[in-house]
């Protein structure tokens, strides 16, 4: 059976998911809601077959929907997720799971008590580059892990393509620690187990409404040291790198889906047979999600796993 999807949030991520599910072809796109008239207008122009509801309650209550995909700002995730669970739907949520830890813990508890299907969109859950790193760790090809470095830098935050999502620039819900580093926090814990925050330092602008501009953190994962540095400002290309340093072989994940390795010489490109790594990543994520919905083997992250990421992220952000 083709999963039937209802959309809460038709902004950047909602539009991207609509595009990717259409390209995938394995989903039926039923309807959606967004409070922004501009987002609704763009959606109607790009996806004329998608029904637009007047309220989120109407989208969630649609008896034809199997899954509610939630792509609104994170402070509203809980109310929509619990409404979807009450309506008997599976829930697919964007990260971060939330910004208020008490709310998120309560949400996870209620979802688990209900036994409802729940998943969070961390594409590293089944990315080829990540799977290659994990296989090398398991085989011993990496050797002893000396440490991990995460390096993030953005010339502008929010990035130009995020300009309409003004909340991403605000301290209450936004910032690149929540929006970007959360993916790498998930990845680190997937590869090495629970991460413990050793130290963090966060720089905020004078305006209390605005999000962080720089941060540093040191994590420990069962003895594996992880150093993290991120910032925004200046000119130049964005930098998104995750480097695993091994005694025998090191790996660098960069630009989300690209992979390099070294055994001591120059970095060597891996996975060069993939024509479009980004699109391949989107399709693999959706294959993984379909397997999850069908009860087949999958690696989709649960709300519980996303909560552990949120707890780490929010602990870092408190160190301003």
Q: Kind and range of the H or E element at 169?
A: none
How many residues belong to the chain? 320
Closest CA to 10 of 45, 27, 35: 35
How far is 242 from 231, CA to CA, in rounded Å? 15
Numbers of helices and strands, H then E, in the chain: 10, 14
Domains of the chain: 4-120 (3.40.50.720), 124-277+286-317 (3.30.360.10)
Helix-strand-coil split of the chain, %, nearest 5: 40, 25, 35
Give just the sign of the alpha carbon dihedral 195, 198, 202, 208. Answer: positive
Instruction: Give me the residues paired with residue 147 across strands.
Output: 245
Say if CB 211 and CB 232 are below 8 A apart. Answer: no
Alpha-carbon gap, residue 81 to 111, rounded angstroms: 8
**pLDDT at residue 1, as a whole number:** 79
Distance between CA atoms of residues 256 and 259, nearest Å: 9
- pLDDT per residue, tens digit, the chain (320 aa), is 799 999 999 999 999 999 999 999 999 999 999 999 999 999 999 999 999 999 999 999 999 999 999 999 999 999 999 999 999 999 999 999 999 999 999 999 999 999 999 999 999 999 999 999 999 999 999 999 999 999 999 999 999 999 889 999 999 999 999 999 999 999 999 999 999 999 999 999 999 999 999 999 999 999 999 999 999 999 999 999 999 999 999 999 999 999 999 999 999 999 999 999 999 999 999 999 999 999 999 999 999 999 999 999 999 999 97
pLDDT digits (tens, 9 = 90+) for 145-193: 999 999 999 999 999 999 889 999 999 999 999 999 999 999 999 999 9
Report pLDDT digits (tens) over 206-216.
Answer: 999 999 999 99
pLDDT at 320: 76
Query: In angstroms, rounded to a whole number, what is the distance separating the alpha carbons of residues 292 and 74?
Result: 23
H-helix segments, the chain: 12-24, 37-46, 56-61, 77-86, 101-114, 128-139, 176, 182-192, 277-293, 303-317
Query: What CA–CA distances, in Å, run from 276 to 19, 271, 280, 312?
Result: 16, 10, 6, 32
pTM (global) more than 0.85: yes
Structure tokens at 70: 């939630």
The pairing of beta strand 239-246 with beta strand 250-254: antiparallel
């Amino acid at each position: 059976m083709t999963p039937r999807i209802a959309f809460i949030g038709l902004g950047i991520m909602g539009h991207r998911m609509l595009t990717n599910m259409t390209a995938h072809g394995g989903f039926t796109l039923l309807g959606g809601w967004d409070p922004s008239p501009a987002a609704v207008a763009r959606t109607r122009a790009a996806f004329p077959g998608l029904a637009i509801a007047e309220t989120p309650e109407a989208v969630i209550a649609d008896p034809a929907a199997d899954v509610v995909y939630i792509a609104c700002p994170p402070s509203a995730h809980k109310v929509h997720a619990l409404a979807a669970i009450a309506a008997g739907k599976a829930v697919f949520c964007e990260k971060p799971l939330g910004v208020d830890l008490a709310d998120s813990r309560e949400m996870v508890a209620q979802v688990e008590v209900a036994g409802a299907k729940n998943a969070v969109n961390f594409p590293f859950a089944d990315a080829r580059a990540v799977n290659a790193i994990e296989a090398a760790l398991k085989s011993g090809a990496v050797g002893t892990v000396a440490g991990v470095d995460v390096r993030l830098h953005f010339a502008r935050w929010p990035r130009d393509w995020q300009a309409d999502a003004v909340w991403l620039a605000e301290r209450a819900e936004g910032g690149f620690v929540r929006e970007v580093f959360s993916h790498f926090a998930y990845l680190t814990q997937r590869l090495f187990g629970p991460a413990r925050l050793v130290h963090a330092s966060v720089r905020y602008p004078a305006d209390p409404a605005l999000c962080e501009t720089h941060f540093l953190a040191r994590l420990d994962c069962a003895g594996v040291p992880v150093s993290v540095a991120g910032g925004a400002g200046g000119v130049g290309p964005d930098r998104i790198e995750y480097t695993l340093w091994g005694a025998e072989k090191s790996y660098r994940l960069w630009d989300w889906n690209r992979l390099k390795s070294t055994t001591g010489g120059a970095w060597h490109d891996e996975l060069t047979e993939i024509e479009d790594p980004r699109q391949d990543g989107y399709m693999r994520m959706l294959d993984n999600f379909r397997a999850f919905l069908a009860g087949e083997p999958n690696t989709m992250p649960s709300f519980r796993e996303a909560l552990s990421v949120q707890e780490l992220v929010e602990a870092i952000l408190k160190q301003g």
